[in-house]
């Protein structure tokens, strides 16, 4: 199952239009490539409601800077690389404005964007409009592609993306649910943002996959992000006798929702939530009521991949993060590292660094073994996209930290080993 071009018709925030930040002609036209330093723009949310996605950025960028040192070896020469980090503040309009500024003022050679559709879509739109190479991650590929009006067989000229897709989510979620006894009644609660709109679509999102896998489905509709009352949705879930609840939430929204579920006596056997349950901080905000919750697991210390840049394993990178910050590893660590290591690989293979089209050609030809798995735009599910592995995880009491998410299902990628058996939520 894959979301097709019908998603493009779903209403979403086209933040690029009407901002007054677009450049009329490609930014590289008429530009003299005077400086030898290659500039990478790096946009992600370090503050705001989705700041957890950018919580490891400082560590990763510093580590990559240390690895590069005086410069990147390209064609037998040391070429300095500058990483210009910008905080989107979890705001898509600001993400677009930052991208335009990096294009017009800083003259970046390659743009990097990550952390949900609120960042990757507006940044990619700016780059596509202005003829600037862009690489992004941390957004399901269907919203990134179809949410921007992508057409299968045509794709985009300047923008490429690697991450998992909706079909893998369906396989993973239904794999979790099938391993326990339920009435197979699923209720969906979805945030009214690009991710929630695309993944909840009744024709092209996750629900058709749930139905195909033999589950019954009741849609609870879209809710406004940062809501404080989920009583209506919870009443519907109880009325439909949903043993399973799923959907897309921001972390603070799910904390509110889950607290109100307890207050109103709704106790599903499985709560498998995309986006909100990725981070230890999200579970810590809930407390022990978060034990047994489940989610997609993009990456972990137990993933069997190594960095093609540093040689570090996933476990070694997580350990380095904890040693440096005294904090628990988080899933975006791997993808932020991969974003930068793939970008550097692209630069190494670029025939003419002064020509943006040459950078795009190298990007399109990417076939690279990263710390999150292979990134190959020649074998992706659709133009401009490479799909990365996905498994399902469940939160448990931790050993070194309060809570841990452990791999509980590998239906979508059997080469990644499970660590625990999936279990119903215990109340």
Question: Residue 93: its pLDDT value, please?
Answer: 97
What is the structure's pLDDT at 39? Answer: 97
Closest CA to 170 of 216, 145, 207, 196: 207
207 and 180, same domain (yes or no): yes
In a domain, 422, yes or no: no
User: Average pLDDT in the 80-94 region?
Assistant: 97
21 shares its domain with 94:
yes
Give the model's pLDDT for residue 317: 98
Cβ contacts of 215 within 8 Å, gap of 6 or more: 174, 177, 184, 185, 186, 244
User: Domain check: are 321 and 277 in the same one?
Assistant: no
- The stretch 322-341 carries a mean pLDDT of 97
Mean pLDDT to the nearest integer, 95-114: 98
Q: What is the pLDDT of residue 22?
A: 46
What is the pTM (predicted TM-score) of this model?
A: 0.88
Give mean pLDDT, residues 413-417: 94
Q: Assess whether pLDDT exceeds 90 at residue 18.
A: no
Q: Based on the domain organization, do 136 and 280 belong to the same domain?
A: no
Residue 177 lies in a domain: yes
Residue 65 in this model has a pLDDT that exceeds 60: yes
195 lies in the same domain as 139: no
The per-residue pLDDT of the chain, averaged, comes to 91
Residue 404 confidence (pLDDT) above 80: yes
Let me know if residue 427 belongs to a domain. Answer: no
Q: What is the pLDDT of residue 32?
A: 33
Tokens of 180: 């326990």
80 and 158 in a single domain? The answer is yes
Whether 56 is in a domain gets the answer: yes
Residue 396: pLDDT band (50, 70, 90) is very high
Q: Check whether residue 185 and residue 277 sit in a common domain.
A: yes
Residue 341 lies in a domain: yes
Measuring CA to CA, which residue among 284, 298, 223 is closest to residue 255? 284
Average pLDDT over residues 203-225: 94
Residue 245 lies in a domain: yes
Residue 159, pLDDT above cutoff 90: yes
Please report which confidence band the pLDDT of residue 49 belongs to, taking 50, 70 and 90 as the band edges.
confident
Residue 159 and residue 19 share a domain: yes
For residue 27, pLDDT over 90 is answered with: no
Looking at the predicted structure, is the pLDDT value of residue 316 above 90? yes
Q: What is the mean pLDDT of residues 212-222?
A: 96
Same domain flag for 152 and 194: no
Note whether 61 and 184 are same-domain residues: no
Residues of the chain with pLDDT > 90, as a percent, come to 84
Of the pLDDT bands very low, low, confident and very high (cuts 50, 70, 90), residue 202 is confident
User: Is there a domain that residue 59 lies in?
Assistant: yes
Q: Are residues 343 and 224 in the same domain?
A: no
Distance from C-alpha of 140 to C-alpha of 159, rounded to nearest angstrom = 15
The pLDDT assigned to 319 comes to 97
Question: Across residues 156-177, what is the average pLDDT?
Answer: 96
Residue 35 pLDDT > 80, yes or no? no
Asked whether residue 141 falls in the same domain as residue 228, the answer is no
**pLDDT above 60 (res 20):** no
Kindly compute the dihedral angle of the four CA atoms of residues 36, 37, 43, 47, in this order, to the nearest 10 degrees.
Answer: -150
Does residue 423 form part of some domain?
no
Give the pLDDT band of residue 329 (cuts 50, 70, 90).
very high
Overall number of domains in the chain: 2
Determine phi and psi for 329, rounding to 5 degrees.
-60, 150
- CATH number of the domain bearing residue 12: 3.40.50.2300
Which pLDDT does position 13 carry in this prediction? 37
| Among 8-12, 290-294, 382-386, 408-412, the least confident range | 8-12
Q: Residue 196's pLDDT is what?
A: 92
- Which range marks the domain in which residue 106 is found? 5-165+302-386
What is the pLDDT at residue 393?
A: 97
Residue 270: pLDDT above 70?
yes
The pLDDT value recorded for residue 154 is 93
């Amino acid at each position: 199952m894959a979301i097709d071009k019908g998603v493009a018709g779903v209403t979403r925030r086209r933040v690029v239009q009407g901002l007054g930040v677009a450049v009329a002609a490609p930014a590289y036209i008429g530009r003299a490539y005077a400086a030898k330093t290659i500039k990478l723009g790096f946009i992600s949310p370090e503050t705001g409601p989705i700041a957890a996605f950018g919580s490891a950025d400082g560590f990763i960028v510093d580590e990559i800077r240390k690895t590069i040192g005086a410069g990147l070896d390209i064609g037998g020469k040391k070429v300095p690389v500058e990483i210009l980090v910008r905080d989107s503040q979890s705001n898509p309009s600001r993400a677009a404005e930052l991208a335009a500024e990096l294009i017009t003022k800083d003259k970046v050679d390659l743009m990097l964007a990550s952390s949900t559709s609120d960042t990757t879509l507006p940044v990619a739109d700016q780059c596509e409009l202005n003829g600037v190479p862009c690489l992004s991650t941390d957004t399901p590929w269907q919203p990134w592609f179809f949410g921007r009006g992508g057409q299968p067989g045509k794709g985009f000229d300047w923008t490429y993306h690697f991450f998992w897709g909706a079909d893998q989510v369906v396989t993973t979620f239904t794999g979790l649910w099938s391993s326990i006894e339920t009435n197979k009644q699923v209720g969906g609660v979805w945030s009214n943002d690009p991710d929630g709109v695309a993944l909840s679509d009744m024709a092209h999102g996750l629900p058709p996959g749930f139905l195909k896998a033999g589950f019954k489905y009741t849609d609870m509709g879209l809710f406004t992000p940062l809501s404080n009352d989920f009583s209506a949705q919870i009443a519907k879930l109880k009325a439909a006798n949903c043993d399973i609840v799923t959907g897309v939430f921001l972390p603070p929204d799910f904390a509110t929702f889950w607290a109100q579920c307890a207050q109103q006596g709704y106790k599903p056997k499985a709560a498998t939530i995309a986006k909100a349950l990725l981070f230890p901080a999200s579970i810590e905000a809930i407390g022990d009521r978060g034990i047994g919750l489940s989610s997609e697991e993009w990456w972990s210390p137990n993933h069997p991949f190594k960095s093609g840049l540093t040689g570090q394993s996933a476990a070694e990178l997580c350990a380095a993060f904890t040693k440096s910050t005294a904090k628990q590893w988080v899933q975006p660590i791997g993808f932020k590292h991969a974003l930068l290591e793939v970008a550097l690989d692209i630069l190494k293979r670029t025939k003419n660094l002064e020509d943006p089209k040459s950078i795009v050609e190298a990007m399109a030809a990417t076939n690279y073994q990263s710390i999150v798995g292979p990134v190959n735009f020649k074998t992706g599910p659709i133009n401009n996209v490479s799909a990365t592995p996905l498994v399902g995880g469940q939160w448990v009491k931790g050993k070194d930290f309060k809570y841990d998410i452990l791999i509980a299902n590998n239906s979508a990628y059997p080469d990644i080993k499970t660590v625990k058996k999936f279990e119903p939520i215990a109340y």
